[in-house]
Structure 1
Amino acid sequence: MQPKLKIILASLLISIVLMLLKFLAYFITHSNAILTDAAESIVNVLASGFAFYSVYLAAMPKDKNHPYGHGKIEFFSAFVEGTLIIIAGLVIIIKSVFNLIYPQNIVQILDGTLIIGFTGLVNGLLGWYLIAKSKTLNSITIQADGKHLITDAISSFGLVLGLILIYFTNLNYLDSVISIALGFFIIYNGYRLTRKSVGGLMDESDLKALTGLVSYLNQNRQPSWIDIHNLRMQHYGADIHIDCHVTLPYYFDLNRVHQEVSNIDDLISKNINDQTEFFIHADPCLPKCCHYCSLENCNVRQEPQTKIITWRLDNVTKNQKHFEQ
């Protein structure tokens, strides 16, 4: 079984156990806030189950119908998880408002508090582990699952503090007030998750990654690479697709052009740890390129080099040679 699938499966099984523990805590205490936490755990289980399937599907090889692979299912998985989180938050708020109007007694608070504290600790550790692994495996699904568990852990710890406060003050209405606050916190985190997943589904640029790539290219540029433009970077799950245009001396033969393109490919592959696919289009230089071309001993140069154009996000992403910008 692939590492991603093992991690998600472990997360699913642990989420089921923790959900049962939270419902046990609710039946012991009859606390609306604990029921809120338990209800969110149902979302954890559903989300982990869908995440398992999406990671399985994303790992499938490219085929005729999916030439870029199946990686984008991970963005859809994160969207579903974020939507479920938002729904859970809304249900929590509605139930809590109802209990403010029709309160119920809370019993055995300390027993329930210990159980919730334990589940929060486990969720926090598991969420931290998933987020750390998502960076090495480059999986938005695992990252989403990890962030969701961290959110759950934070809400559980907040709930523990609230239950302790109720125990010492006997102000039972705080139970519903805490639940409402947790509900809004959960909705906010669900929104952040769905926002990121929608951006991925719509091929939104990862400006941080793209800026790092441009900086790396600028530091390692070769004189024959007169300019790079129309640079785009897209994520498909764990895969990254990069395409760009590179301006080369027009008199290079096909073998030389192929070698230069391969050099760019190799350079970027060393900088990016993930599986990367390139589409590099070679453009011939024009006389107007001479003033910023650094190639020495060029027999067709029509004017001397007068400037060096630093590659930046604003000039390499435009679909224009640099003299046109």
Structure 2
Amino acid sequence: MKQRLLLITFSVSVLILIGKFYAYYLSGSTTLLTDALESIINVVAGAFAFYSIYLASLPKDLNHPYGHGKIEFFASGLEGVLILLAAAYIFLHASQHLWTNQEIKSLDMGMAISLGSSALNGIMGYFLIQMGKKEHSPTMVADGKHLRLDAYNSLLVVLALAITYLTNWLWVDSAASLLFAFFMFWQGIRLIRTSVAALMDETNPKVFRMVIDWITKNQRDEWIDLHNLRVQQYGGDLHIDCHLTLPRYWDLNHVHEEIHDFEGTLSRVLPTHIEIFVHADPCLDECCAHCQVSDCPIRAHAFQEKIEWNNVNLALNQKHFLEQLNRP
């Protein structure tokens, strides 16, 4: 489904590209050139997005034990770089024509093509973003945002051409291109920043929060402590590992069954493939103060209070003790 949607998007982007350059050829408008250059990026990025989705779907192998999903972050970063390059060219071109009175004609045709492309890109961008969020695909989200950006650009083109057509203020054509060049630059920086963060395994606060909320919602008394929780994204897939403290008097079979249940519970946090690794820790006497196992046969201290699991203490690589939390 993802590859089919991207293939349709790529095909439509090629047709839009041809239409925009035809409109620029007829009019000579700098603003229409801006729109056409943006479409070149759409086509190139769409082709690479299609390939990255295909590559990310390949199964794990000996050389890629965590799969190929991170290619999606590289794809979104490349799209950001392409946007920056286009923004730089548009800025230079528009600056050169800002104070010149170049001939502009056939603006009605240019407005019609830009308005049509804006509608098409807006629709495709919406569906790509929605599908990308559903499938947790950074490539589809980045491509959808880029198409949505192109739709906004086309609307700005229509507005600039309409003002130029009605007032004959030729400088508006270049001024609109400069304005959108700055907007494109900001969008490109954001895409690159997000891509680099993901490639460096920076924690996604939203996903991390969802994992914590899911764990606490399904928490059992036997899960005495949870720490060293790490969530890594590999494209649309997740890799989660943590340390889970269980009663030390349990035999190995019981521990194995509990971890299996814990992994099964955690695997339903998001509708995507999730790989989970759990390291089992035995409880200590210091855990008794917050252990909620009511029939514990080896309890050394009375229960005092429950420790609330949050994004800070779950990420720490140490067991939680009340004296640590209450330390000034």
TM over 0.5: yes
**CA deviation vs aligned residue, 1:227-284 (integer Å, no higher than 9, x gap):** 1000010110121000000011111111111111111111112222110000100000
1:130 maps to 2:128:
yes
CA shift, 1:102, in A, is 3.6
Do the aligned partners of 2:135 and 2:271 also contact (CA within 8 Å) in 1? no
Aligned to 1:69: 67
CA shift, 1:219, in A, is 2.1
Aligned to 1:23: 21
CA shift, 1:56, in A, is 1.2
CA shift, 1:150, in A, is 0.1
Do the aligned partners of 1:130 and 1:146 also contact (CA within 8 Å) in 2? yes
Q: Which among 294, 297, 312 is matched to residue 296 of structure 1?
A: 294
Aligned equivalents of 1:269 and 1:39: distance in 2?
43
**CA deviation vs aligned residue, 1:42-69 (integer Å, no higher than 9, x gap):** 1111111111111111111100000000
Instruction: Report matched runs for 1:189-200 at 5 Å.
Output: 189-200=187-198
Aligned to 1:41: 39
Instruction: Give the counterpart letter for 1:93 in structure 2.
Output: F
**Seq. identity, %:** 43
Aligned equivalents of 2:218 and 2:3: distance in 1?
37
Q: Secondary structure at the match of 1:83?
A: helix
Aligned equivalents of 1:101 and 1:157: distance in 2?
23
Instruction: Report matched runs for 1:167-246 at 5 Å.
Output: 167-246=165-244
**CA deviation vs aligned residue, 1:190-236 (integer Å, no higher than 9, x gap):** 11111111111010111111112112211221111001000010110
**CA deviation vs aligned residue, 1:259-316 (integer Å, no higher than 9, x gap):** 1111111111222211000010000001000000000111110110001111111111
Aligned equivalents of 2:290 and 2:26: distance in 1?
75
Instruction: Give the counterpart letter for 2:66 in structure 1.
Output: Y
Aligned to 2:51: 53
Aligned equivalents of 2:40 and 2:101: distance in 1?
24
**CA deviation vs aligned residue, 1:13-32 (integer Å, no higher than 9, x gap):** 11100000000111111101
When the two structures are aligned, how many residues end up with a matched partner?
A: 323
Q: Which among 93, 96, 106 is matched to residue 95 of structure 1?
A: 93
Do the aligned partners of 1:215 and 1:311 also contact (CA within 8 Å) in 2? no
Aligned equivalents of 1:251 and 1:32: distance in 2?
76
**CA deviation vs aligned residue, 1:113-161 (integer Å, no higher than 9, x gap):** 1111101110001100111111222211111110000000001101111
Aligned equivalents of 1:136 and 1:99: distance in 2?
44
CA shift, 1:40, in A, is 1.1
TM-score by length of 2: 0.97
Instruction: Give the counterpart letter for 1:256 in structure 2.
Output: H
Instruction: Give the counterpart letter for 1:264 in structure 2.
Output: F
Aligned to 1:156: 154
Aligned to 1:166: 164
Instruction: Give the counterpart letter for 2:299 in structure 1.
Output: R
Instruction: Give the counterpart letter for 2:228 in structure 1.
Output: N
Aligned equivalents of 2:192 and 2:6: distance in 1?
19
CA shift, 1:11, in A, is 1.2
Q: Secondary structure at the match of 2:313?
A: helix
Aligned to 1:11: 9
The CA RMSD over aligned residues, in Å, is 1.0
Aligned equivalents of 1:51 and 1:64: distance in 2?
24
Displaced runs of 4 or more, over 6 A: none
Instruction: Report matched runs for 1:110-121 at 5 Å.
Output: 110-121=108-119
